[in-house]
Structure 1
C-alpha cells in the first residue's frame, strides 16, 4: 500500500513538472520565441506529454521555429489527440478538413471535432455548427 502511495505521489509530481514546462513552452510560443517553445516542448512531447505534443504539432504545421512539415504536425497532433486532448483533436480535425498533411476527409474531420466538442472545446462546437 505504501509503495502504491509513493508511486501515485511520484506520478502527480511529474505531471505537475510536465504541466509547468509545457506552460513555459506556451508562454514562449505566445511571445513569438519559437526556439524556446521548441526547447520546452520537444523533450516533454517525446516523453508523452499531450500538451507538448500538440504544441510541437502547431510549430510544424505553421513552420514556426522549424521547417513547415505537415507530416510531422499530423504525427504530433495524432499522439496528443489519441490521449484525449481536445485541442489536439480539434487541430487534427482541422487538418483533415483542409487536407493539410492528410487526405482531405470531411467525415474524419467531423469525428475529431465531435470528440473535442464532447469535452467542451468551444472551437470544435463552433466549427460543427458551421458545417451543418
Structure 2
C-alpha cells in the first residue's frame, strides 16, 4: 500500500472525542478571532448582537465564516435556519476541502460534542 492510498492515522472524529464542547468552542473562538472566554450563551442575536455578528462574518475568509456561522447557529438554535438564509451560506453545503483541515476538525469537534439537552 503506497502513501497515497494509506488511510490517515487519526480522523477529526477521533480527536473530537478527546475534548469536550467547551474546549472545542474555545478553539473555534480563536480561529474566528473572538474572545476565547465568550461562552455560547454570550453569542446572542438580540439587540446589537446580530449587527456585530453580520459585520464579523463579512470580515472573515469563507472557512472561518462557516465556522462562525455554525457557532452562531449552535448558540441560537431556534434562529439557525433564518440566520443561514440571511447570510446566504449553509454549513451543510461545505465540504472538508472547502473548510480546510483545521476549520473542519474544529467544526466536527463542536458538532460531535454539542448537546441540546444540558443534562446530556
Normalized per residue, the structure richer in helix is: 1
Larger Rg over CA atoms? 1
TM over 0.5: no
What's the TM-score, normalizing by structure 2?
A: 0.35
What's the TM-score, normalizing by structure 1?
A: 0.33
